[in-house]
Chains A and B, each alone.
Chain A
Amino acid sequence: EVQLVESGGGLVQPGGSLRLSCAVSGFTFSTYWMHWVRQAPGKGLVWVSRINSDGSATSYADSVRGRFTLSRDNTKNTVYLQMNNLRAEDTAIYYCARHGSGNHFDYWGQGTLVTVSS
């Protein structure tokens, strides 16, 4: 069974940092790209970042570029989103999602809530 489990969310002050993790099981992790998508309270889905299968290439939304860093450890079947210099507008549920060849977001995690507030 394919599973994606996010963790690491919580309450952080503006300017602070958090590292989110997405641990996966049930499929060959090293052959899939992985993405993070976020959803602010009561709002729609917004793509945040993606990483290719071996971790050699990443892409970011303009709103997070330079503050967020996506990485992965294929030996631990886990992808990490390091979030620095957090702002109030980063408050959202963060979902990780799987991306196979031409097959976007067929599985999602349950999400982890990040709240940026003083």
Chain B
Amino acid sequence: DVVLTQSPLSLPVTLGQPASISCRSSQSLVYSDGNTYLSWFQQRPGQSPRRLIYKVSNRDSRVPDRFSGSGSGTDFTLKISRVETEDVGVYYCFQGTHWPPYTFGQGTKLEIK
């Protein structure tokens, strides 16, 4: 099974400051079709998960452009350029390349300092 390791697991950030979350995979996430199926999800307190980024760097509609994804192979990063109050929650990376099982990272809890 592919293991996704996120860091940090806890991320206190000052409002208006940038934030960055790392996701490292135990295997390359490049699929045979050339795509890399690495996504990022946000889960606000008491809500369902919401996808932010798919295929490494594609932002979903209605996701603010302060969110960006990057990386390749086994190393990926989610960046928030300026953290806002509504960004509080848990962030998960996810891989859909090697399945079953599909796997998620452990989650990174972002809070306002």
Which of A's residues lie within 8 Å of B, judged by CB?
35, 37, 44-47, 50, 59-62, 95, 99, 102-106, 108-111
Asked if residues A111 and B48 are in contact (CB atoms below 8 Å), the reply is yes
**How many Å from the CB of A20 to the closest CB on chain B?**
15
Which of B's residues lie within 8 Å of A, judged by CB?
33, 35, 37, 39, 41, 43, 48-51, 54-55, 60, 90, 92, 94, 96, 99-107
Among residues of B, the one whose C-beta sits closest to the C-beta of A35 is B102
Asked if residues B104 and A46 are in contact (CB atoms below 8 Å), the reply is yes
Interface of chain A: mostly helix, strand, loop or mixed? strand
Give bound CA distance, A50 to B102, whole Å. 9
| In the complex with contacts A95-B49, A106-B60, A108-B48, A44-B104 CB distance below 8 A | yes
Instruction: Give the residues in chain B near A104, CB-CB below 8 Å.
Output: 37, 39, 51, 54, 94, 96, 102
